[in-house]
Structure 1
Amino acid sequence: MLNFVAIDFETANSDRASACALGAVLVHDGIIVDEYYSLIRPHPTCCNFDPFNTEIHGITETDVKDAPELPEAWANIAGSINGSTLVAHYSAFDCRVINDAFGLYGLSLPECAVACSCVISKRMWPELLSFGLSSIAEKIDFQFVHHNALEDARAAAQIILTTFRETGSADWIELEKNLGFHLGVFHGDEYRSCGLKPKFKTPIQLNPVDYSDPELNPDDFPLWKKNFVFTGTLRSMQRNDAMRKVTQAGGGVLNSVNKKTDYLVMGVQDYYKFTDGEKSNKTKKAEELHTKGYPIEIISEMDFLHMLGDSSAIEKNKVAEKQQEERDPMQDIIDETYQNGLQIIRKLSKDLLNPERLSLYQRKTYAAVQIDNDKEKRICCFYTQGNTVSVAFYDMEGKLGRRSVMSNVKELSNHGNEILRILRFHLDLAPAQSEKLIQMKPMKGLLGVELSVDLEKVKQKIIEEVKKQGQ
């Protein structure tokens, strides 16, 4: 039986206790049975309305003048939450509202499990670049009005219902097992957040050929008894699909290059995982074994596709190669900016960890600096928008802070203590007592900085140089 209450708070200012609206959606046996919404008059100690918050949710001090305070509003849903599961998107925020606001009124915390629809979405749809409420709602084709407390609660509820439906999970225990996360909990005076279980990976279903089967003809399998390793990003298919095609064609797949490797397939060079700026560890290991006389070959993705005889994938790869050749020269400038930022962060963090553990997870308009290629250990991320490359730090709860403008790539180094603070959090290291962390002005309660580079002049120079070469 699937029962839960999805909630959402809006706040008047950066103080988490300043709740000014509450929305709730009650789900019983997998069906939405009731909804609740109320404006809230914040506690007198934190009742000022920050224009920034009002701009987001549209609620003003005048709107809540005659509204109930939190205890009266909460009483309408408390009976449904106690003993059940509380759901929220970015549940750490809403639970902090509960913890801080309840403390002002001397209320006892609820007794319930806590599920974060954002955390669960990261396991459910790992291919997404953003796990904000709007992005996930778009993924499940649910339309809503963002930053209205009831609308946000409805969206969170639909995310959870979709997750249960698509995974076939019967209850929360089964969903935890299927997706690799743990529920949080409110119990007594304690709160534990909902989070991801470490090193959870969805196993790849491969069906290798049984070489001992006497009825099999090796000539029917183009990759018979050949072991493959992949590095870089493939243009024609996902790596998991390529691995399945290898086993279907009679070959084997290895996770790392060793003496048993026959072929290393090079996709688009995974340069954001580089250690010396040019080659991946797999490439260097393959070259080392080759010089020692082992018959390992380094082949391109196109060579691999020809070995498979996959004509449709070959055509797809040709199209991707043509697009690469025709790409905007601006992309080179953007890539260089990403790499410069990564180098600065590596330099700043070298006292805490080996710089090689930092990598850049890069897509067309987005790149995140992370530890050990773990998407849950992100330090900051770069965005591309028009002629600007900007960067924003994640906070301790994995949320992106509001960005404030900086003028030059190298100014990222001025915020070294913030980088170290986030690194220590992910590495579970205590900060030195004598360290003076930079105190940045919080925006909606989050840490945040932005690095911006005006690329328009650089692009214009490239265009002028191209014109001169053509004359």
Structure 2
Amino acid sequence: MHGLNFTAIDFETANSKRGSVCAVGLARVMNGVVVESASWLIKPPRSVSEFSSINVAVHGIRPADVRSAPGWPESLRRIMDFTGDDPFVAHNAPFDRSVLRGACAESGLEPPENPFHCSVVLARRLLGLEVNKLPHIARALGLGTFRHHDAGSDAEICAAAVVAIARQHALHSLDVLWPAAGSTSTRRTRVSGHPA
């Protein structure tokens, strides 16, 4: 699957505000193989740092867990060091893209503009499932169990799902997985003001 290159990304948030990022998961795919993954907790930007009981019930991350975690500026540098020029793929990409941009806005940083592609859109188009949540897709593709709403686990299963769908349908590049009309791609610019 030469040319199937991307980084799957997943964020968790402290509350309903998109900038309240508290965890990230990453899984890098090169030529259709997951070659590297990473995840860590993030201290949300101060202005949106309150944890909602609803969000805690979903992902289990509490204020004490992020007390000594890196903040968003350092985390953004680490994300971009990991990702480089790769397009991002996320399960419900509009959410994850809005978290990335929201955290940057709360921190006074320019957001990176790597293209974003959505695995929900891909699954709806090619799998024909009644429900397109990540656990249902993983089950349908025989990917096994995983820790849903754990950012690292979600990113890894998202990457594995995209690779499995690509193999199943012999679609070996992002351009054919997400034809231009269905893409949420935008031009990428470097993170300014922060060394890699």
- Does TM, normalized by the shorter one, top 0.5? yes
Distance 1:90 1:70 in 2: 21
TM-score when scaled to structure 2?
A: 0.89
Higher alpha-carbon Rg = 1
Alpha-carbon shift at residue 64 of structure 1 (Å): 0.4
Match of 1:182 in 2: 182
- Give 1:104 deviation, angstroms: 1.6
Q: Which amino acid aligns with 1:94?
A: D
Q: Deviations over 1:275-299 (max 9, x none)?
A: xxxxxxxxxxxxxxxxxxxxxxxxx
CA contact (8 A) 1:120 1:181 kept: no
Distance 2:176 2:156 in 1: 23
Cα distance per residue 1:151-205 (max 9 Å; x no partner)? 110111011101110111221122235xx9622123369xxxxxxxxxxxxxxxx
Distance 1:44 1:99 in 2: 16
Maintained 8 Å contact 2:117/2:178: no
Q: 1:2 to 1:21 in 2, by over 3 A?
A: same
SS at match of 1:186: coil
Q: Distance in 2 between matches of 1:5 and 1:170?
A: 15
Number of the residue aligned with 2:194: none
1:60-459 equivalences under 5 Å are: 60-126=62-128, 128-142=129-143, 143-177=145-179, 182-187=182-187
Alpha-carbon distance, 1:53 to partner: 0.6
CA, structure 1 residues 182+81, in 2 after alignment: closer, same or farther (shift >3 Å)? Answer: farther
| Structure 2 CA distance for aligned equivalents of residues 26 and 60 of structure 1 | 27
Residues 316-348 of structure 1: CA deviation (Å, up to 9, x unaligned): xxxxxxxxxxxxxxxxxxxxxxxxxxxxxxxxx
What is the distance in 2 between the residues matched to 1:55 and 1:148? Answer: 12
Equivalent in the alignment of 1:11: 13
TM-aligned CA deviation for residue 95 of structure 1 = 0.4
Aligned 8 A contact 2:34 2:160 in 1? no
Tell me how far apart the structure 1 counterparts of residues 89 and 154 of structure 2 sit (CA, whole Å). 11
1:342-362 deviations in Å (ceiling 9; x for gaps): xxxxxxxxxxxxxxxxxxxxx
Question: C-alpha displacement at 1:103, in angstroms?
Answer: 1.1
> Unpaired runs of 5+ in structure 1?
190-471
Contact 1:56–1:147 (CA under 8 A) maintained in structure 2:
yes
d(CA) in 1 for partners of 2:44 and 2:136? 30
Structure 2's unaligned 5+ residue stretches are 190-196
Alignment length, in residue pairs? Answer: 186
| Compared CA separation, residues 181 and 151, structure 1 to 2 (3 A) | farther
Q: What RMSD in Å do the two structures reach over aligned CA positions?
A: 1.7
Alpha-carbon deviations, 1:55-74, whole Å to 9, x = none?
11100000100000112122
User: 8 Å contact 1:109–1:186 — kept in the other structure?
Assistant: no
CA apart distance, 1:81: 3.1
Shift in alpha-carbon separation, 1:188–1:34, aligned structure 2, 3 A: closer
Query: What TM-score results when the alignment is normalised by the length of structure 1?
Result: 0.38
| Corresponding residue SS for 1:73 | helix
Is this contact kept in 2: 1:89–1:117, CA < 8 A? yes
Percent identity of equivalent pairs: 34
Higher relative contact order (CA 8 A, sep 6+): 2
Secondary structure at 1:45 match in 2:
helix
For the 8 Å contact 1:110–1:186, the answer to whether it is kept is no
